[in-house]
Amino acid sequence: MNTANLQLEGLLIALARVLSTLERRGGLPEGAIDEALAEAEVAVRRDLAARNVSAAEAEAVRFPIAFLRAAARDGDGGFQAVASAVGRARDRGRG
């Protein structure tokens, strides 16, 4: 596996835990993480629509947002579990 992919995997897990801890300890109102990530997703979709990117490239850009949203909803799953959930949601047309 590409080293950059492993670094991104670690970064996503760390960020998911930081956001979860902030929300759990009252540093963020409940639902604030999902709301912010939903706004990011809309902005990314709008940006990608204005650019000439392939479907695979667009999916790659959207993956971190979908990952963090799923991690915030589904708790303490590891990277593989959350990434699989994102893939299943995408396959059902929700990702």
pLDDT by residue, tens only, the chain of 95 residues: 678 788 999 999 999 999 989 988 999 898 899 999 999 999 999 999 999 889 899 999 999 999 999 998 876 778 999 999 999 988 887 65
- Quote the tokens at residue 76: 């303490």
CA-closest candidate to residue 35, choices 75, 65, 11? 65
Lookup result for tokens 């912010």: 36
Rg (CA), the chain: 14
SS3 state of residue 75: coil
Q: Where do the domains of the chain lie?
A: 3-91
pTM, two decimal places: 0.85
